[in-house]
Amino acid sequence: MEHKEPPIYVTKPHLPDLEKVYPYIQRIWENGVLTNSGPFHQELESKLESTLDISHLRLCNNGTSAIMAALFTANLSGEVITTPYTFAATTHSIKLCGLTPVFADVEGDSFGLCPMAVERAITQQTSAILAVHVYGRPCNVEALKDIAEKYNLKLIYDASHAFGCEYQGRSLLSYGDYSTLSFHATKVFNTFEGGAVVSSNKECADRINLIKNFGISGEDMIPYLGFNGKMNEFSAAIGMLQLDEISLILSKRKQVAEWYDEELIGLEVVSVPKPIDGHVSNYSYYPIIMCGEAEGVRDRVVSFMCDKGVHPRKYFYPLMSNICQYKDLDSALKDRLPVANKLSNNVLCLPIYPSLTRPEVKRVCEALKGALNQK
């Protein structure tokens, strides 16, 4: 009987040792506090600020709530310039907050918003820029800061991929007026579900605390429009355990990325994005770009690899500008987004997670090479 190898998926969540979880659960039961900024919640906020070398971090129940809390706190109106090359949560959050997303093209090296495209998209109705550090790679933060200051716009970063990343000697989360994080199960650091907002000042951070608690400031006071975006105590406890192991998680992810680098040497029909000067990566994703003869054949490659039990992902496809909720915003949109459209059609993210082994990396690359050799 032929032995069938187990499937390899694009990601696999890191989990703490179950024996270590039990004492935390016992403490939750003893405290009797399940939510509303309990002991683990407060401790995790403090430890994250220390670990990431940032101030004013506020936990949320997921990354989408974090983006929405930042948008509400920034008190925006009208249009928000953003990227189409992102996950649905980024764009949907803008729309759900009663704002209009305006798409600008991205850069081919960083995958982030192109500053020149952003400036061309600014109108009298523009109130903010919502950029994404795609795959944890930094946007052109200096240029975007200059544009935001020139036009008096709020600058918000969806940094869902950027936990632990640094740029020019400081946390990537410290740029902009707000940065938001996701602690979803698929992320480098997870709390099963969770997220956070990092604010540039304490006053805004305190307002985030109110907005993620229905806008309530006291028993008889509700000064803001808000929603339920609070992290529960179990998720915070899981975060405490994960944080104890974050150095090991990051080092293992780096090792997997280095194995891919070795295996893909000489494969001219795909390119691996080059490192950005001053950037410390968290190796959250391993994207490759189909180029040359391979350009435009990604769907065939994915199908072949999946048949071999290897499941990469087309991150990010489709472009948000091409889905039904947004494709009619601007009839000339596709002409303004050539780089984003090309990346969306040619980028493939290979499996990467801490427990991925060297033989499994070889198997992924053999499936990829086999797919590319198909005529």
Longest dimension (CA), the chain: 70
CATH number, domain containing residue 150: 3.40.640.10
- Within-domain flag for 9: no
Per residue in 47-68, pLDDT tens?
A: 999 999 999 999 999 999 999 9
For residues 107 and 262, what is the distance between their CA atoms, to the nearest angstrom? 26
pLDDT at 219: 87
pLDDT of the residue at 374? 84
Distance set, CA 41 to CA 30, 50, 94, 251 (Å): 15, 14, 27, 26
263 and 116, same structural domain? no
pLDDT computed for residue 2 by the predictor? 44
Same domain, yes or no, for 267 and 207?
no
Same domain flag for 124 and 229: yes
**Domain final residue pick, 212, 244, 276:** 244
| pLDDT by position in tens, the chain (length 375) | 344 899 999 999 999 999 999 999 999 999 999 999 999 999 999 999 999 999 999 999 999 999 999 999 999 999 999 999 999 999 999 999 999 999 999 999 999 999 999 999 999 999 999 999 999 999 999 999 999 999 999 999 999 999 999 999 999 999 999 999 999 999 999 999 999 999 989 999 999 999 999 999 988 999 999 999 999 999 999 999 999 999 999 999 999 999 999 999 999 999 999 999 999 999 999 999 999 989 999 999 999 999 999 999 999 999 999 999 997 766 566 679 999 999 999 999 999 999 999 999 999 999 999 999 986
- Is 315 within the bounds of a domain? yes
**Domain shared by 145 and 182, yes or no:** yes
Q: 267 and 232, same structural domain?
A: no
Assess whether 45 and 117 both reside in one domain: yes
Q: Structurally, how many domains does the chain consist of?
A: 2
Is 1 inside a domain boundary? no
pLDDT value, residue 4: 80
130 shares a domain with 22: yes
Which of residues 244, 270, 286 is at a domain's end? Answer: 244
Evaluate whether residue 299 is within a structural domain.
yes
Say how far apart CA 318 and CA 345 lie, in whole Å: 8
Q: Is there a domain that residue 8 lies in?
A: no
Please tell me the predicted confidence (pLDDT) of residue 327: 77
- Residue 213 CA: distances (Å) to CA of 32, 145, 206, 223, 229: 19, 30, 11, 11, 6
CATH of the domain at 298: 3.90.1150.10
For residues 205 and 289, state if they share a domain.
no
Identify whether 202 is part of a domain: yes
Sheet holding 100-103, edge to edge: 57-60, 195-199, 178-182, 154-158, 126-132, 79-82, 100-103
Domain check: are 256 and 145 in the same one? no
State whether 288 and 354 are in the same domain.
yes
Domain assignment present for 69: yes
> Would you say residue 36 lies in a domain?
yes
Which residues have a Cβ under 8 Å from the Cβ of 139 and sit 6 or more positions away? 110, 112, 113, 131, 132, 133, 157
Domain containing 117: what range?
18-244
pLDDT score, position 78: 97
What's the pTM value of the predicted model, to 2 decimals?
0.96
Cα separation, 259 vs 360, in Å, equals 10
CB-based burial of residue 282 (10 Å sphere; 0-12 exposed, 13-18 middle, 19+ buried)? buried
CB 307 within 8 A of CB 7: no
Q: Are residues 252 and 148 in the same domain?
A: no
Residues 156 and 213 in one domain: yes
Torsion (CA) 78, 108, 9, 68 in degrees, nearest 10 = -20
